[in-house]
Amino acid sequence: MENNHNQEVRLYNGLAPGSEHWDWVEKSGSHNSIGLQTISNVADPALIVFEPEHAKKNGTALVICPGGGFHFLAIEHEGTNIARALVEKGISVFVLKYRLFYTATDNPFDEMLNTQDKIAWDAETEPVKPLAIADGREAIAFLRRNAARYGISAQKIGIMGFSAGGLVAASAAFGYNTANKPDFVIPVYPDMPDSRQSPIQPDAPPIFLLCASDDEFGFPVHVISLYNRWFNAKRPVEMHIFSKGGHGFGPGTIQNTTYRWVDQLVKWLEAEGFIPAA
């Protein structure tokens, strides 16, 4: 059982840079067609802290960035549910509430499903994406500065993201500096087209990639592109593309081979030396 699992820590001292004028109130709820727990209108980025029992703690830390098209965060399905699984493996997990596009609705998930113009729906979030990416970088830097506070290693800080959160996570693997470089990166069905990728640095972090072949948005193309960049640069990379699973499978489902992908990730973390072998 994890400790301090409800603690939230603000990412910035004062107002978040670049959105100082945002004054809206964060919303949360599950009043949508599938009961998905969401958070929307994030203006004050924060980390939700999941710490393992002291006897289990291995010093590795992971930032998790849930998806939601930059309109909301699937905070349980792609956040806290994953955190609870990994904290049992001794990993200190920090679910990132990154900045989002403002939405007036109380039901951003169904608004997404019902929108008639998917291209416009995605395009309206473009100004927010650099801010969300900055939040991902700052989360890594924050944990590195506060490694002693959380009992983690400053050399074992990774970032994971799903869909839109996959863009946040994957972007951290490009253009980093010493303070905000991730030690490993885990993009899960990431919205990371070639246009957002750049030449990787010689010391690019190990990367673990996964998605499903039948992803409705065609994101396997993004995963394969990232794989090729790491492979060609001779940097550590592992990729899993499942036959079925669609987009948004989160922790996986027993109906297809996405089931237990978290266990495969744990084995990879062991193989790369980020956590001790069980």
Residue ranges per domain, the chain?
8-270
Q: Which CATH number fits domain 8-270: 3.20.20.70, 3.20.20.450, 3.40.50.720, 3.40.50.1820?
A: 3.40.50.1820
How many beta carbons lie within 10 A of that of residue 216, not counting itself?
A: 10
User: Helix count (H) and strand count (E) of the chain?
Assistant: 8, 10
* Residue with more model confidence, 113 or 142: 142
Give the pLDDT confidence of 162-216 residue by residue, as tens digits.
999 999 999 999 999 999 999 999 999 999 988 889 899 999 999 999 999 999 9
pLDDT at position 29 is 86
Closest by alpha carbon to 67, among 183, 211, 196, 253?
211
- Nearest-angstrom CA–CA distance, 222 and 189: 8
**Can you give the pTM of this predicted structure?**
0.95
- Nearest-angstrom CA–CA distance, 40 and 18: 18
pLDDT at position 2 is 43
- Percent pLDDT > 70 in the chain is 97
Q: Could you tell me the pLDDT band of residue 236, with boundaries at 50, 70 and 90?
A: very high
Q: Cα–Cα distances in Å, from 224 out to 67, 187, 213, 229, 261? A: 20, 12, 11, 9, 18
- Nearest-angstrom CA–CA distance, 162 and 62: 14
Give the pLDDT confidence of 40-69 residue by residue, as tens digits.
999 999 999 999 999 999 999 999 999 999
